[in-house]
Amino acid sequence: MTLLKSDGFFASDASTVAIESRAPQCAFPEHSHDFYEIVLVEHGSGVHIFNDTPYALCSGTVCFVRDKDHHQFENVDNLHLTNVLYRSPKNFRFLTDIEAWLPGSHPQQQSHWQINSSALKKAKNCIDCLQTSANSSELEDIASSEGLFLQLLMLLRQSCFETVKQDSREACVGALLNWLRNNYSEEVNWEELADSFSLALRTMHRQVKQATGMTPQRYLNRLRLLEARRRLFQSDDNITDIAYACGFSDSNNFSVQFRREFSLSPLQMRNTINH
C-alpha cells in the first residue's frame, strides 16, 4: 500500500494546512497518509473504499480521513474533489481542542457526512480563501489559514445537522438518499417512497439524478452491489444468501448485475481474496 507523505503536499515544514484539488479525481488505488484530510465532493459520483467499507459518493459528501486510515477511489464518473489537508488535530500553531468539531474515533462515529448545495457553496468559498494563505509560510498567514480552517469545520458540522432539520425539497431528497443507504435491502416502491418524503415521483427521479448522477434504481443497485462485495470479502456466507441479504430477489440477476458493475462474477471476486 502506498504511503503519501506530508512533505509532498504542504508548502513548508511550518505549514499546518494545505489544499489539493482533483478535477477530476481519477480512480486511485488504496493508500494511506502521514497526515489527516477532509475530502469534499463538489460534483460527480464514485465509490470511496474507506477502511475496507464502501461508500457511494455524490455532490456534498464530506469524508474525514485520519492518518491511520486507508482508502481508495473507484467507479468514478466526472468526480471532482477538494482535499483539505492538515497534519493532525494536535499539530496546529494557534488552534487547540478542535476534536469537538471532528467525527470521534469510535467506530460508530460517522466518517462521511452530507451537506446541502448552499453549504457546499459556502464551504468552497471558505476553501478558496484558505488556499491563498495556506501557500505561505509567514506566521500571519499560518494564523489566517488556521482560523479559516476552524470556520470550515464549524460550517461543515452545522450544515451536516441542518440537512436533517430543513423542510426543503433538497433536504427531502437528502433524507431519502440517507434512507436508501440504511435500508438498501428492502423492496422499494418508488412512488410510495417518494410520497413518504413529500416528493412527487418525477421530482424525486430528477433530484436524485442531479445529486448522484444516477437514476434512483441505479443508485440503489450500486448500494446493494457494494454491500454484496463487502460481504464476499469479509464473510463466509454463500453467494445466494448474500444476494438475498442485499435486496436481490433473484441470484441470477444478482450475478449479471455484479459482473456488469465489477467486471467479475461474485465467485471470481471471492476467489481474488486468495490471490
What is the rounded average pLDDT of the residues 22-50? 90
CATH of 169-274, one of 2.60.40.1250, 3.40.50.720, 3.40.50.300, 1.10.10.60: 1.10.10.60
Lowest mean pLDDT among 73-82, 87-96, 107-116, 205-214: 107-116
pTM, two decimals, is 0.79
Which range (21-35, 115-129, 232-246) has the least confidence? 21-35
Mean pLDDT of 168-173: 80
Report whether pLDDT(274) > 70: no
What's the pLDDT band for 174 if we cut at 50, 70, 90? confident
pLDDT beyond 50 at 150: yes
**So where are the chain's domains?**
2-165, 169-274
Tell me the range of 15-19, 20-24, 113-117, 212-216 where mean pLDDT is highest.
15-19
The yes-or-no answer to whether 2-165 and 169-274 have a common fold is no
Judged against a pLDDT cut of 60, whether residue 15 lies above it is answered with yes
pLDDT of amino acid 196 = 94
Mean per-residue pLDDT, 205-230: 91
Compare 103 and 265 and report the one with higher pLDDT.
265
CATH superfamily, with its number, for domain 2-165: Regulatory protein AraC (2.60.120.280)
Work out the mean pLDDT of the chain and round it to a whole number: 89
Mean pLDDT of 114-140: 91
Q: List, for residues 191-217, the tens digit of each pLDDT value.
A: 999 999 999 999 999 989 888 888 999
Cα–Cα distance for residue pair 13/67, rounded to 1 Å: 17
Q: What average pLDDT does this structure show over 54-74?
A: 90
